[in-house]
Structure 1
Amino acid sequence: MPLEIQEAMHALATGKAPEPDGLPIEFYKTYISLLAPHQQALCEEALRTACLPASMREALLSSIPKQGKDPTTMGTYRLLALLNFNYKNIG
């Protein structure tokens, strides 16, 4: 599984907003060799217990105005959920 985790880390796009935990994807890619074994243990524990820590089940929501729509109208926004890398990696 460590190879799968490393492949998942490498596949993530960089230059985006930091994760809700405040860490950008670049952090995970820089320290991939140190983080992969811990990520593997986290994945195995989550699969074994069918339970995720509360911090992994949280998301930050941001409302983004739809392009070309009136930003003063509530229905012209879409929600964007920012999820932690650990949660996305288990999925």
Structure 2
Amino acid sequence: MDAPSKFFFSSEQKNGQKSFIHAVQIESVDVLLEPTEIRKQTVHFYSKLYSRGRSGAQIVEESFLKDLPKLSEQAARELDGELTLAELHKAPQGMENGRAPGIDGLPVEFYKAFWAVIRQDVLEVLRDSMNVGQLPLSCRRAVLTLLPKKGDLIHLKN
């Protein structure tokens, strides 16, 4: 995971002022005050939190889904078929304006306005991703916005 910039450790409050994480406590004793160390510890915390380990919720989900009806072979083949331009075109058309679906900040309106120019490239990237079984790194990144919860905000879990 890349080291996040200072931008990712600030948030804009409703009054337009920015708030920053000034300290983080790890374990029960160490308080980090240095921005570089705070970023490093935050990346570690959320990397561990969002790792691919099996959780109890996943096991419950698997047992819940076990007895649900299955797709017919015909329907499964259709869904597994090659992505078409017509199918892909429906995605941005069905999205609400004013949203930015990716980390690049490009709003849905961009995709709608320039669809004729970018459609073939987008289709190629997604088809390649389906063949490889993984999206490009730029599509797998995300920005997490930390929202304060109850409790001592020096702890990342809060």
Tell me, yes or no, whether TM beats 0.5.
yes
Equivalent of 1:3 in 79, 86, 96: 86
Deviations 1:35-90 (A, max 9, x none): 1111110111001111222111101112356xxxxx6x25xxxxxxxxxxxxxxxx
Is 1:22 equivalent to 2:105 in the alignment?
yes
Alpha-carbon shift at residue 17 of structure 1 (Å)? 5.0
> In structure 1, what is the Cα distance between the partners aligned to 2:100 and 2:133?
29
Partner of 1:58: 141
Q: Quick check: 1:20–1:60 contact (8 Å CA) kept in 2?
A: yes
Is the strand fraction higher in 1 or 2? 1
The CA RMSD over aligned residues, in Å, is: 2.2
> In structure 1, what is the Cα distance between the partners aligned to 2:147 and 2:99?
15
Where structure 1 has 5 or more consecutive residues not aligned to the other structure, the ranges are 66-70, 75-91
Partner of 2:95: 12
Would you identify which runs of 4 or more consecutive aligned residues in structure 1 move more than 2 Å? 16-19
> In structure 1, what is the Cα distance between the partners aligned to 2:129 and 2:100?
26
Change in 2 beyond 3 A, CA 1:35/1:17: closer
Partner of 1:39: 122
TM-score, normalised with respect to structure 1: 0.63
| Larger RCO, structures 1/2 (Cα 8 Å, 6+ apart) | 1
* Structure of higher CA gyration radius: 2
TM-score, normalised with respect to structure 2: 0.39
Alpha-carbon shift at residue 22 of structure 1 (Å)? 2.0
Question: Share of identical aligned residues, percent?
Answer: 29
How many residues of Structure 1 are paired with residues of Structure 2 in the alignment?
69
